[in-house]
Amino acid sequence: MINWKVKEQGFCPDQMINNGNKFLIGNGYMGVRGTLEEFRKEELVAINLAGIYDRAGEGWREPLNAPNGLYTLLKVDGEVYSLPGAAPKEHCIGLDYRRALFSRKTTWKSPRGNVTIQAERFASLEEPHLLAMKYCILTDFHADVELITGIDADVWDINGPHYDAFSFHEEAGRLIAVGTTHESRDQVCVAEGCQTNFISEHKLHIDDRSIMRRMSFVTDAARSFEVTKWIAVYTSKDSDDFEQQAIRLVNDHMKSGYEASRCAHIRKWEEKWAVSEVMIEGDDEAMEALNYSLYHLHSIAPRHSDSLSIAARGLSGQTYKGAVFWDTEMFMLDFFLYTEPEVARTLLRYRIDTLEGAKNKARSYGCEGAFYAWESQEGGYDACSDYNVTDVFTGRPMRTYFKDKQIHISSAVVYGIIKYIDYTGDYSILLEGGAETIIECAKFYYSLLLKKVNKNCYELHDVIGPDEYHERVNNNGYTNRMAKYTFDQAVWVLDKLCELQEDVSERICAMYEREKLKQQFEDASQKLYIPQPDEKGIIEQFDGYKTLEDVSVETVKARLLNEKEYWGGAYGVATHTQIIKQADVAAWLALFPTDFSKDILLANWHYYEPKTEHGSSLSACMYALLACKCDMPDRAYPFFIKSASADLTGHGKQWAGLIYIGGTHPAAAGGAYMTAINGFGGLHFKDGELKVKPQLPPTWKKLRFKIRHRGVLYQIDETHDDMLIKKCEG
């Protein structure tokens, strides 16, 4: 039996930020950092909202954090009992990631006896607007208690403040806080209701950043004094009637009670696990890390929407501007596709619905078609700055080229849509904008194609591949391959549209000169230069890569003058060497393993892996996957564990130059899943049929998982020398 609980005993101030990520709860609508009830913005409390952004002044646009309706502070005999201020006798926080329950228990020694807080909370998976908490006070003496609980609107922001104003009021015992944002005057409403199993004197206290009740009462040693809190979060984007809805939601749940809501929440999670749990016999550590990763993916899946995607740091805060990267399509998609394809569809709809933004971006660079945002926010707005890193030596912003040169982003969108169609057989997405999306992405690449006048092939110059340490390179293998893929898929779509023979497809066809486009894309796919293996089987990452200095990661690291300095850019320690940030050629080969023979895959794994810093959490899983394709599950294993444990260990990079980049790593979580199922599990599809080719690591006795494929749920059992695919009942 594996342990579905993550715990931390004792209080370590250094771990506060990390624990906020590690013990995160969420339900796709919001994420609640694993912080304590008495914490405030200084301790990086955040109730991070999905898909709603604000920009204040010249700062970066970033997602909103809602006012914190969970806030609760305990005073006993006039003294505050809180962390990190008052050293506890005992302290423990825990996350039951099977049931998505956060808990804490803290005991202090007071002059008159022991004071204990025990609390549990969850972000309801059944009701995305709801947070619920049970907060208990236990004392072994008659304590004079003042409990301050309500809504703390003094929220943590990286580039805030985002609320110009708040209004606070009380209505029939419910506390209500409404904040108005700076840029688009959106409103965020938090309603709070509170029940106690004791009688107390209440006083309401409102200042410019909070609305609080102050309850005074005297405890006795015999029982637990329980406060149950219900918090509803709505925004003006959810409904015009957001405030009344919030109050109604609180009232409804207060009526049915904590246990009922908790049960419904747990039931929902059990439904998820019934399909998505991955069982690994013989390796509890791997099974725990992997399912913990899946917990995070479930927690941020936007089930409340039919068109929304996932930020690179999930719902763990405002890092990376809450923006959507290629992470979603290339790393997280498989998990949702296999276990909950509706979520996959929602993620892709977000891309389809932001096509206009991508077309605007392309136009702004003088290109045609759709150039998706490198850091996508509402409407496909690219939140990526031209100055994304700060020079540690001069304090100056450094011109970076992620936004304008990382053109492989558009191909990731195409890759996601096509994978969805291939896997689900659901062509309707094509007719709902998917076709235009794919065609416009192909048009984008087409408009970038360069032909040397004296050569007969097409090239893509001045790009950044997945390895961001080498900027503005020509003919990055990964990028060119993905562009070719895009052309091929666009040709397929142009054919498919005719086949579908529907009104919509006729409309789409009418928009384009179908035959001309098809011819162009066929020509482009045929002539686009794809780097080929040299005599040793090595594929050059980009033109001239092999002429760069060949040194070890350690040597390059030793050249750092400042541990926070950026390795890339024009003069970074890695820039003029062969040291790369993350899987690049390896990513290509992991995605298209049949492009070359196994020998070639192997040669490139061995060539590039030692040259990789793995400075991105997207790196390890690609090497793990490719190692599986090379029949080396043992070599894959440590990279798999690294991916699966990214948020358990908290070892990821916290800084890029002078900028904080901490948070959860859902792409690593998704990558771990891909490695387990597609890599070790060897799951693949041939002509729409599901196949497996087990590549289990030596210690694994058995791998069991379920996947939902074209409407049917299958259970797959694999051992080293056997496998069984069977349909599940119902």
Q: Return the active site residues.
A: 468
First to last CA, the chain: 27
Compare residues 329 and 382 and give the one whose CB is closer to a second copy: 382
Query: Which secondary-structure segment (H or E) carries 383?
Result: none
Query: Kindly report the CA angle at 354 between 351 and 355, in degrees rounded to 5?
Result: 90
Please state, in angstroms and rounded to a whole number, the distance separating the CA atoms of residues 273 and 562.
45
Measure the CA–CA gap between 192 and 210, rounded to whole angstroms.
12
| Cβ contact 302:308 at 8 Å | yes
Residue 230, classed as helix, strand or coil, is strand
Q: Chain centroid to CA 242: how far? A: 27
If you write DSSP's letter for every residue of 674-691 in order, what string do you get? HIIIIIIS--EEETTEEE
* 531 prior amide bond cis, ω within 30: no
470 touches 541 (CB < 8 A): yes
Q: How far apart are CA 378 and CA 387, in angstroms?
A: 21
Picking from 674, 469, 672, the residue whose alpha carbon sits closest to that of residue 582 is 469
Location of structure tokens 């409390």:
45
Residue 148 phi/psi, 5° resolution? Answer: -105, 115
Rounded-to-integer distance, Cα 422 and Cα 36, Å: 45
β-partners of residue 718 are 703, 723
Cα–Cα dist 258/712, whole Å: 35
DSSP 8-state symbol, 189: E
| Binding footprint of a second copy on the chain (CB under 8 A) | 368, 391, 393-394, 396, 398-399, 446-454, 458, 461-462, 472, 520, 524, 561, 569-571, 575-576
Between strands 101-110 and 90-96, the pairing is antiparallel
Question: CA 152 to CA 211: how far, in whole Å?
Answer: 7
385/240 Cα distance (integer angstroms) = 33
Q: Rounded distance, CA 104 to CA 120, Å?
A: 7
Phi, psi angles (nearest 5°) of residue 488: -60, -45
b/e per residue 454-476 (b: at least 16 CB within 10 A): eeeebbbeebbbbbbbbbebbbb
- The radius of gyration computed from the CA coordinates of the chain, to the nearest angstrom, equals 27
What gap in Å lies between CA 156 and CA 35, rounded to an integer? 12
Q: Show the beta-strand stretches assigned E in 100-181.
A: 101-110, 113-123, 130-139, 144-152, 163-171, 174-181
Distances (CA, A) of 487 to 267, 438, 465, 490, 524: 45, 9, 18, 5, 7
